[in-house]
């Protein structure tokens, strides 16, 4: 059995009974032991160990961000990884849990070790589309996920989340990349360039430019491109990924058509294989306004232990984290027009 250094997670709240705490501790111990016994992937085992050691108590705080209990509702965990939130949701009375991610390993191991145990459902999201019925979900949690969605797909993400929510259903978007927070803004501008083409604590020397180099070398192996040419194309294809990355270089080789796209300072890097963004930052108001255009009434919350609406614009950048809660409005022209009259966000007079 592999061993890892044990982490300590403090009990951060008291709104859970001793009986529930014991039940959840037992559940996460069983998941971890099952992962060992049935030789789960290393990523699943490591995550399960963290939950066994008490990480679930911190994650439980996220449920406070909703305006009402999840009891009896259908809960969508968007960007679920393996779906370790499921035991908490079931203990809190959720009727159904839907776990969504883009990673095949997350979904496979999650369904095997958690989905089968709790009868929860797993779906893969392609280009942020959800294979879920419209108006069928009561709650959506998007925790530390929106900053990894490819910028070209964010509007589709908003639209699909709005589509699957029931009238009155709630979405909570929580993320640690608040562009209204000055230090976060300054740090990310620096880190983006390191992540794409420099040395960082996250990647070491294995930055995204080097990943593009490896991808292109593999894709054009039969062409036997020299080191200098591969480095040139890897440097000048920042932001491209998947088939577009390969096709762009193919056109350069076959047709002599190539536009240089080196990484630009302040732009979040895009993974060349998966297309996910690396810690893209958002202005909280930007997220609110987008959600409103898809029929949700929104508010920015502050405070993890006892969340409350922000007191004014001066609190939007108070912390590096931001939380937006949206409530689905009735899907009628009359209701949306009535809401439009009361929307206090004034861009133009």
Contacts of 146 (CB under 8 A, 6+ apart): 154, 157, 173, 175, 280, 282, 287
How many whole angstroms separate alpha carbon 8 and alpha carbon 28?
15
Q: Which of 281, 238, 277, 264 is closest to 151 using CA atoms?
A: 277
Residue 205: which pLDDT band, with cuts at 50, 70 and 90? confident
Rounded average pLDDT over 13-36: 88
The model's pTM is 0.91
Instruction: For 232-248, write each residue's pLDDT tens digit.
Output: 999 999 999 999 999 99
pLDDT averaged over every residue in the chain: 93
Q: pLDDT for 29-76, tens place per residue?
A: 999 999 999 999 999 999 999 999 999 988 898 999 999 999 999 999
For residue 195, what are the contacts with CB-CB under 8 A and spacing of at least 6? 202, 203, 207, 208, 269, 278, 279
User: Does residue 84 carry a pLDDT above 70?
Assistant: yes
What is the band of 204 on the pLDDT scale with cuts at 50, 70, 90? confident
Compute and round to an integer the Cα radius of gyration of the chain.
22
* Class of the CATH domain delimited by 183-255: mainly alpha
Residue-level pLDDT at 99: 98
CATH class of domain segment(s) 71-179+279-342: alpha beta
Tokens 């066994």 belong to which residue? 52
pLDDT of residue 156: 98
pLDDT of 11 strictly over 90? no
Residue-wise pLDDT for 326-336, tens only, equals: 999 999 999 99
pLDDT at position 215, please?
Answer: 97
The DSSP code sequence of 122-185 is EEE-BTTB--S-TT-EEEEEEES-GGGS-GGGHHHHHHHHHHHEEEEEEEEEEES-BTTSHHHH
Beta strands 322-328 and 296-302, pairing class: antiparallel
Query: What is the rounded CA–CA span in Å between residue 207 and residue 167?
Result: 44
Res 9: pLDDT:
44
> How many Cα atoms within 13 Å fall on the side-chain side of residue 126?
1
- Contact yes or no for 52/43 (Cβ under 8 A): no
> Which pair of structure tokens corresponds to residue 112?
């095997």
Distance separating alpha carbons of residues 257 and 245, to the nearest angstrom: 13
58 or 157: whose pLDDT is higher?
Answer: 157
C-alpha triplet 202, 54, 24: angle, nearest 5°: 135
Question: In the structure, what pLDDT confidence band is assigned to residue 345 with cuts at 50, 70 and 90?
Answer: low
Please check the confidence at residue 14 and state whether its pLDDT lies above 70.
no
- Give the helix/strand (H/E) hosting 121: strand 121-124
What's the mean pLDDT in 176-198?
A: 96
Give the pLDDT mean for 2-25.
Answer: 64
- The residues of the chain that CATH labels 3.40.50.150 are 71-179+279-342
172/296 Cα distance (integer angstroms): 11
pLDDT digits (tens, 9 = 90+) for 251-268: 999 999 999 999 999 999
Residue 225 has pLDDT above 90, yes or no: yes
- Comparing 205 with 315, which gets the higher pLDDT? 315
Give the pLDDT score at 58: 87
- DSSP class of residue 61 equals G
Q: Helices (H) and strands (E) in the chain — how many of each?
A: 13, 8
Confidence at 346, pLDDT banded by 50, 70, 90: low
- pLDDT of 7 strictly over 70: no
**What pLDDT sits at residue 299?**
97
Task: Kindly report, as residue ranges, where domains of CATH 1.10.8 are found in the chain.
Answer: 183-255
Mean pLDDT to the nearest integer, 101-111: 96
> Of 58-62, 99-103, 342-346, where does mean pLDDT reach its minimum?
342-346
Looking at residue 304, its pLDDT comes to 75
pLDDT of residue 15: 66
The answer to whether the beta carbons of residues 272 and 288 sit under 8 Å apart is no
End-to-end CA distance of the chain: 65
**pLDDT given at position 206:** 86
Task: Write the burial class of residue 62 (CB in 10 Å: 0-12 exposed, 13-18 middle, 19+ buried).
Answer: middle
Whether residue 1 is predicted with pLDDT greater than 50 in this model: the reply is no
């Amino acid at each position: 059995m592999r061993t890892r250094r044990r982490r300590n997670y403090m009990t951060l709240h008291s709104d859970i009974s001793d009986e529930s705490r014991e039940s959840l501790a037992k559940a996460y111990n069983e998941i971890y032991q099952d992962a060992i016994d049935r030789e789960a992937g290393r990523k699943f085992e490591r995550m399960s160990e963290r939950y066994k050691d008490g990480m679930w108590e911190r994650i439980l705080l996220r449920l406070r961000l909703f305006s009402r209990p999840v009891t009896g509702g259908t809960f969508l965990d968007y960007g679920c990884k393996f779906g370790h939130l499921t035991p908490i949701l079931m203990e809190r009375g959720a009727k159904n849990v839907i776990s969504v991610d883009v990673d095949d390993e997350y979904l496979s191991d999650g369904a095997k070790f958690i989905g089968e145990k709790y009868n929860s459902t797993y779906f893969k999201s392609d280009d942020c589309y959800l294979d879920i019925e419209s108006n069928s979900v009561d709650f959506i949690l998007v925790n530390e996920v929106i900053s990894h969605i490819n910028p070209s797909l964010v509007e589709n993400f908003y639209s699909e989340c709005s589509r699957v929510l029931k009238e009155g259903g709630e979405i909570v978007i929580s993320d640690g990349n608040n562009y209204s927070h000055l230090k976060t803004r300054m740090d990310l501008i620096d880190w983006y360039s390191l992540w794409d083409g420099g040395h960082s604590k996250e990647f070491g020397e294995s930055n995204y430019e080097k990943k593009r180099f490896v991808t292109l070398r593999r894709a054009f192996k039969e062409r036997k491109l020299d080191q200098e040419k591969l480095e040139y194309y890897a440097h000048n294809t920042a932001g491209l990924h998947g088939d577009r990355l390969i096709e762009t270089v193919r056109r350069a080789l076959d047709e002599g058509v190539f536009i240089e796209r080196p990484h630009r300072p302040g732009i979040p890097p895009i993974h060349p294989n998966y297309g996910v963004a690396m810690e893209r930052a958002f202005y909280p108001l930007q997220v609110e306004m987008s959600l409103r255009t898809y029929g949700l009434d929104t508010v920015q919350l502050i405070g993890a232990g006892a969340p409350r609406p922000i007191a004014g614009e001066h609190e939007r950048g108070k912390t590096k984290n931001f939380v937006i809660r949206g409530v689905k409005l009735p899907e009628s022209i009359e209701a949306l027009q009535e809401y439009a009259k009361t929307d206090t966000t004034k861009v133009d007079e």
